[in-house]
């Protein structure tokens, strides 16, 4: 089996999204209401810790569902944006964050756990979760039409030929990407201990993008945000021209996958 890459070590990408928090917030999709409702129903209470909360997209959904939400976010620019939407946020990486003795009914991470060390993060979550609390980690996996993926990928390869990203292959690797994220997260929970056996949830849906909406989400991706401004502009201009030639709208097959595990009763250190 191909080793799962240590994605959390790519800090340049992880810390690049705050270059334009407003763009990120309007471009990134929210999460299925059914996912939020299922996490809330499975948790023993309404205190939620949102890891890597970004601009507060998931946090606002949990707040709307009646939860009390605290965010932890390493990028101060993203945290400031989330605070302006009414979310309380503390700036830190999750592994180094000081809980100051606080505990929660659910620890959630939307589109962010791949930037967390999977074992250290799970161990931290186990420490701050109440018995029976849920660690719920979830991601969107995009599958644009093949012609769109190939056209945008060709532009990207021309402008950034040495990049490790392969945007043109995205339509072919949706299931593999989901497997990498969920396997890595579940293995981290098992190695850290303190959790029951993780279970996987899946939600399939579609989203239709206008040309400008698609370019916004592309501009907010980790393949684009670390680039110099001139390279970002060139990728987006070329991608926009390609989309115009294909009618200017994109219907995307979306999959939201989640790995969820319940905090066990007492950790070994607590029962010694």
Domains and their CATH numbers in the chain: 7-145+170-207+253-266 (3.40.50.150)
| pLDDT tens series, the chain, 272 aa | 334 445 444 445 545 555 789 999 998 999 999 999 999 999 999 999 999 999 999 999 999 999 999 999 999 999 999 999 999 999 999 999 999 999 999 999 999 999 999 999 999 999 999 999 999 999 998 778 889 888 998 999 999 998 877 776 544 456 677 788 999 999 999 999 999 999 999 999 999 999 999 999 888 887 888 889 999 999 999 999 999 999 989 998 899 999 999 999 755 444 43
* Burial (Cβ within 10 Å: 0-12, 13-18, ≥19) of residue 96: exposed
159: CB partners within 8 A, 6+ apart? 231, 234, 235, 238
Total-model pTM: 0.85
The answer to whether 138 touches 236, Cβ cutoff 8 Å, is no
Please write the tens of the pLDDT for every residue from 117-157. 999 999 999 999 999 999 999 999 877 888 988 899 899 99
């Amino acid at each position: 089996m191909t080793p799962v890459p240590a994605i959390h070590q790519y800090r340049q990408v992880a810390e690049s999204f705050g270059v334009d928090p407003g763009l990120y917030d309007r471009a990134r999709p929210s999460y299925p209401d059914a996912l939020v409702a299922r996490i809330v129903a499975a948790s023993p209470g309404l205190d939620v810790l949102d890891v890597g909360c970004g601009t507060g997209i998931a946090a606002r959904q949990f707040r709307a569902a009646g939860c009390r939400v605290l965010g932890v976010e390493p990028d101060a620019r993203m945290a400031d944006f989330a605070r302006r939407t009414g979310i309380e946020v503390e700036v830190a990486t999750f592994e180094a964050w000081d809980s100051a003795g606080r505990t929660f009914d659910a620890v959630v991470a939307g589109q962010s756990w791949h930037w967390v060390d999977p074992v250290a993060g799970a161990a931290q979550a186990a420490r701050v979760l109440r018995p029976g609390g849920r660690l719920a980690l979830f991601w969107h996996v995009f599958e644009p039409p093949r012609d769109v993926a190939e056209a945008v990928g060709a532009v990207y390869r021309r402008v950034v030929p040495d990049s490790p990203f392969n945007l043109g292959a995205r339509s072919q690797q949706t299931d593999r990407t989901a497997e990498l994220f969920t396997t890595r997260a579940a293995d981290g929970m098992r190695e850290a201990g303190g959790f029951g056996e993780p279970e996987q949830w899946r939600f399939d849906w579609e989203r239709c993008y206008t040309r400008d909406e698609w370019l916004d989400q592309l501009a907010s991706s980790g393949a684009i945000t670390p680039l110099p401004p001139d390279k970002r502009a060139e990728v987006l201009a070329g991608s926009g021209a390609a989309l115009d030639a294909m009618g200017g709208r994109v219907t995307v097959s979306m999959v939201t996958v989640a790995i969820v595990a319940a905090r066990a009763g007492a950790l070994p250190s607590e029962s010694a």
